[in-house]
Amino acid sequence: MIDLMIDKEGDLSLIGADFRWVDGTERVRQQLQIKLQLWQGEWFLNTEFGTPYLSQILGKQVSLQAAIAALKRSILDVEGVQDIQEFSYTVDRHSRQLNAEFTVTTPYGLIEYKGNT
């Protein structure tokens, strides 16, 4: 499957007036980044797309184990992700931030992801 390329600022990447395309490992990496940055329900064209931060990850009633499980399900839901090989995280309670690092298996090889979720 081919996808439109998005640059680091989140805009469509162009060469002159032509769209740039992305496929393979970079497509899966881009879709992982989009999925983890978009809150489920945020995109009006598909309110099921995104990561369920409000319903399954954030909140006082959510355990850390349940939040991590929901995050992993969201990662595995990305087309092209076959399995999570490695997954680690740190929680900064002061800044209320979860940092996840993981490696996933795809038909194109391994993809390493490091970033804030």
User: Would you kindly state where each structural domain of the chain is located, as residue ranges?
Assistant: 3-116
Determine the Cα–Cα distance for residues 104 and 82; give it in Å rounded to an integer.
7
pTM greater than the 0.85 cutoff: yes
Structure tokens at 23: 């496929």
Q: Report the phi/psi class of residue 96: left, alpha or beta, with left for phi > 0 and alpha for psi in -120 to 50.
A: left
- Overall CATH class of domain 3-116: alpha beta
pLDDT band at 1 (very low <50, low <70, confident <90, very high): confident
Residue 116 has pLDDT above 70, yes or no: no
In 3D, which of 107, 109, 89 has the Cα closest to residue 99? 89
List the strands of the sheet with 109-116, edge to edge: 83-92, 97-106, 109-116
In 3D, which of 23, 24, 21, 22 has the Cα closest to residue 108? 24
pLDDT at 89: 93
Residue 117 has pLDDT above 80, yes or no: no
Q: Report the phi/psi class of residue 73: left, alpha or beta, with left for phi > 0 and alpha for psi in -120 to 50.
A: alpha
